[in-house]
Chain A
Amino acid sequence: MSEIIPEGSSAVTIVLDVPDWPRHHPGQHVDVRLTAEDGYQAQRSYSIASAPEDPRLELTVERLEDGEVSPYLAGELRAGDELELRGPVGGHFTWETTDGGPLLLVAGGSGLVPLMAMLRHRAAQASAVDARLLVSARTWDDVLYRAELGGLADVRVHVTLTRAQPPDWGGSARRVDADMLRELGPPAEQAPRVFVCGPTAFVERAADLLVELGHAPSAIRAERFGPTGA
């Protein structure tokens, strides 16, 4: 572990130097295993935030107050510490520039992490694939990679803040709905590749709305996260 970058008040990006890391696909994750001194082991899956072109591996971890692993990763871990990783894993929720577009990414909270890997990959490849991103978060402080999102010149980004908004807020201030998705586009007729990632309830809602808007269920790939011991 070489560096920790705070992301708002409740998440951190962990930067790792992994010897012999095989190139990952944007959207994949790794399983992180922690072993306590008494031998007790806990394992969690974390999405990879960095592009495959990035020589270092980045994971962004949201601190769950009652979590078993995330408080350690987001609070106790120090540069130089070692982590046990398995991965990269996953082949269903992935996108490469060669897969083409258009691309519609819908993120709830820290569900932005694997989608950011896709956008970073797109930027690294100087891809002109039409890409749109919808980010839903409770407050501005909960929006990951804020500065970087602002710099995504050729990606249409829309942010909605569901709980509190800063003064002069120019984005939306409600839960994701059909109007928001329709306005962001691209329309279903363009058959975008859709990736939705977030907490279970968020993903359910967003996926239902997308189907109502005419997107083929098979074009919508979802990644829900929740409490998991797997």
Chain B
Amino acid sequence: MADAARWLDGNAVAGVLAEAFGEEMTAVERACDGCGAERPLGAYRAYLGAGVVLRCPACGATGLRIVALEDRISLSWSGGRAP
């Protein structure tokens, strides 16, 4: 439970994602390069800190990092492939 309390669903950062990508992203499916699970970003686990880290809900592999800097938004995808 202590761990569960640290993350939300990707839905929770829909606004951040929309700002970063310019369109709605939570329904977009992504295939994890760690385990191959195909899940929509809205079902990813969103870890919130100084930025947002989205992790695969099946295996926990990092899928996407988003950091909002003063003048830009920094995105980094980790692997992944189109499902």
Chain B associates with chain A: yes
Interface residues of A (CB under 8 A from B): 28-31, 45, 86-87, 89-93, 200-201, 204, 221-226, 228-230
The digit string for B37-57, where 1 denotes a CB below 8 A from any CB of A, is 000111100101000100000
A29 x B14 contact (CB < 8 A): yes
Q: How far is the CA of A30 from the CA of B7 in the complex (A)?
A: 19
Please pick, from A92, A200, A201, the residue contacting B26 in the complex, using a CB distance under 8 A: A92
B8 x A90 contact (CB < 8 A): no
For A93, what are the chain B residues with a Cβ–Cβ distance below 8 Å?
9, 11, 26, 42
Q: How far is the CA of A93 from the CA of B54 in the complex (A)?
A: 17
Please pick, from B1, B16, B19, B41, the residue contacting A201 in the complex, using a CB distance under 8 A: B1
The digit string for B5-17, where 1 denotes a CB below 8 A from any CB of A, is 1011111111111
For B24, what are the chain A residues with a Cβ–Cβ distance below 8 Å?
89-91
B15 x A200 contact (CB < 8 A): no
B59 at the interface (CB under 8 A from A): no
Q: How far is the CA of A230 from the CA of B15 in the complex (A)?
A: 8
A224 x B40 contact (CB < 8 A): no
A4 CB to nearest chain B CB (Å): 23
A91-B9 contact given A86-B15, A230-B52, CB 8 Å threshold: no
Q: How far is the CA of A212 from the CA of B13 in the complex (A)?
A: 29
A201 CB to nearest chain B CB (Å): 6
A222 x B5 contact (CB < 8 A): no
For A87, what are the chain B residues with a Cβ–Cβ distance below 8 Å?
15
A90 x B5 contact (CB < 8 A): no
B46 x A230 contact (CB < 8 A): yes
